[in-house]
Structure 1
Amino acid sequence: MPWKESTTMSSRLEFVMLARAPKANIAALCRAFQVSRKTAYKWLERYEALGAEGLSDQSRKPRSSPASSSDELELQVLALHLEYPYWGARKLRELLPDYLPRPHHSTVDSILKRHSCKVLGAPVKQELASTRFEHDQPNSLWQMDFKGHFALTTEAAGRCHPLTVLDDHSRFSLCLTAFANERSSSVQAGLQATFERYGLPDRITCDNGPPWGSTGLKGLTKLEVWLIRLGIRVSHSRPYHPQTQGKDERFHRTLQLELLDRRGFGSIEQCQHAFDEWRERYNMVRPHHALDMQPPITRYQRSGRELPNALQPIEYLSSDAVRKVDLKGYIGYANRRHYIGEGLQGQAVAIRPDPETDGFLEVRFCHHKVTQLDLKSLP
């Protein structure tokens, strides 16, 4: 089905913004958004001619260009505050119509104060970090986590567990999906849909616990195995260091403030509908301080790595000793059984000299180093 019915304009605008990025793959975007090339180029032409308003099916009154006046400015500021009551003066300033002069944010703040307009849930002012770490390209790193689950208003409906995936470079929200649990199968389903729409990243980072991390002695989870087979590198934040996932944690606070604190939901379906609307506003409209007051879509570009139709066969070096992991997570080597991890059941792993540590062998699954074997302990 082309475009999401409830958010047609937002989907068209997201498509156009991604398609206008340098070296954008129009054919891949058409497949991801399920539209024909003819339709795609029609919206691109309309956007070039009329801007975002050209993407609407409904006629709109032409934008007037009156002489700037303090009354008009105040009306626009108050209207923006009514629509976005949790955004401060700096963000509202960026959303003022082009025909108005762009005032200093203090002017916008004065208008809000004069009309007793308070920013809802305004956080306590904090010092901004003097150094900000981010990858220099979209899709170099995605951050993934579950937002803390919350109860639905209908007791029998259970709880909602929001899965979030954020691009490190652009802060673009790639996935905001409502699930009834935090199982590995749910995460894989959410990632599958995300990969189909945005392609594959170079690396994904997440925390150490289930469903993405193993709490056992060692080894990979089945979810990690699937990601590694897709050629994605998987890393984990250090235990008790949530700042490693800092951008996604900040995204969670914004989601909590702007949506979850203000709404109750009776079902997972209601949650997802609200998530879709809020996510599109976050990506397409909301100015971001770390992005020079631009929305994340201005920094994001779809990945050129497509999700394959089937996993490719694993290939190792001809000099490797290849072993198959049994149902209990063990391999046999040098007349001994070595535990590799149950997540690798049925998978082939390679054993080769460890180039980083003398006297050890490394056990490798695809590009991922699973563990080491000490040559001194082998017969």
Structure 2
Amino acid sequence: HREGPTNLAVRCGVSPRTVSRILARAGMPRLWDLDPVTGARIRASRATDRRYERDAPGDMIHIDVKKLGRIPDGGGWRADPNQSARNHAASHTRVGFDYVHVAVDDHSRLAYAEVLPDEKGPTCAAFLTRAAAAMAANGAPVKRVMTDNAFAYRISRDFQNALAALGAKHILIKPRHPWQNGKAERFNRTLQEGWAYRQPFTSNQARTDALQPWLDFYNNHRPHGSLGGKPPISRCKQPTD
């Protein structure tokens, strides 16, 4: 299992700082320095020059898309760092990609995600509408939306119309500066570690079906290091009728 200091601290009944010291003394690398499938060290993504956090839930959400290879029935090829590239190519069944659309609230880290067939403008627009409704239902009415400069976000009339319907301001990051949308980037890694690569799935549908239960755990129960060990929902004010 891949778990960081905050989760391990809850399991062991000690503070996250104590767990971090023990892991550092043992020479253990940080999770975000490792490939989520193989566990091999990779170069960490660049951090933002200035860390920030919005003052209230819904002040800004971060939206992004993560492309995942679909799983053939039976599970297909399992990642093996010792297998040669030639054997990998010979054994790999190509079945296309899923597009995991994610939305993360800047203040609370509340997250919403869906597995969708593409990342075209109408798809991104419909996702934004559903994500904003889910955020509002949990006390985070959306005021601003941050995205990268993908065509579907920057040019698509459907996406711009969805923003206008919400009355939300669109904030684009600088080209070739993905770390400026860092909370979405970080959530994508958490999503891969906690859901997509947490266990071998025997079909693509099995992986898709596991997403919503994991999101419920993430939002309502999983301790978050940036929130003092509390889950994202703890920072949201539940709307009253």
- For the structure 1 residues 265 and 253, does the alpha-carbon distance in structure 2 shift closer, same or farther, using more than 3 Å as the test? farther
Aligned match for 1:248, one of 170, 174, 184: 184
Residues 278-320 of structure 1 show CA distances to partners (whole Å, capped at 9, x for unaligned) of: 212222222222112222111123579xxxxxxxxxxxxxxxx
2:143 to 196, 202, 213: 202
Instruction: Measure the CA separation in 2 of the matches of 1:225 and 1:151.
Output: 31
| Unpaired runs of at least 5, structure 1 | 1-84, 97-101, 113-118, 215-219, 305-379
State the one-letter code of the partner of 1:177.
E
| 1:88 and 2:4 aligned | yes
The match for 1:103 is 14
Who is 2:105 aligned against? 167
**Equivalent position of 1:14 in the other structure:** none
Letter aligned with residue 180 of structure 1: P
Equivalent residue runs for 1:1-379 within 5 Å? 85-94=1-10, 102-105=13-16, 122-124=31-33, 132-154=51-73, 158-173=96-111, 175-199=112-136, 200-214=141-155, 221-262=157-198, 263-264=200-201, 266-267=203-204, 269-301=205-237
Give the SS at the match of 1:211: helix
CA-CA distance at 1:207 after TM superposition: 1.0
TM-score between both structures, scaled by the size of structure 1: 0.46
1:207 is aligned with what amino acid? D
8 A contact 1:202–1:232 mirrored in 2: yes
Question: SS of the residue aligned with 1:147?
Answer: strand
Counterparts of 2:20 and 2:164 in 1: how far apart (Å)?
Answer: 49
Higher relative contact order (CA 8 A, sep 6+): 2
Aligned residue number for residue 369 of structure 1: none
Judged with a 3 Å threshold, the aligned counterparts in structure 2 of structure 1 residues 230 and 95 are, in CA distance, closer, same or farther, namely same
Counterpart position of 1:5: none
Larger Rg: 1
String of CA shifts for 1:120-164, please: whole Å, max 9, x gaps: 984449899895201010000000010133233246863211000
Q: What's the counterpart of residue 80 of structure 1?
A: none
**Per the alignment, do residues 106 and 183 of structure 1 end up closer, same or farther by CA in structure 2, a change over 3 Å counting?**
closer
How many corresponding residue pairs? Answer: 204
Deviations 1:253-276 (A, max 9, x none): 112223323434633x43331111
Structure 2 portions without partners, runs of 5+: 35-43, 74-92
Going from structure 1 to structure 2, the CA distance change for 1:148 and 1:94 (only over 3 Å counts) comes to: same
In structure 2, C-alpha distance between the alignment counterparts of 1:265 and 1:187, rounded to whole Å: 28
Superposed CA RMSD in Å reads 3.5
**Given the two structures, how large is their TM-score scaled by the length of structure 2?**
0.70
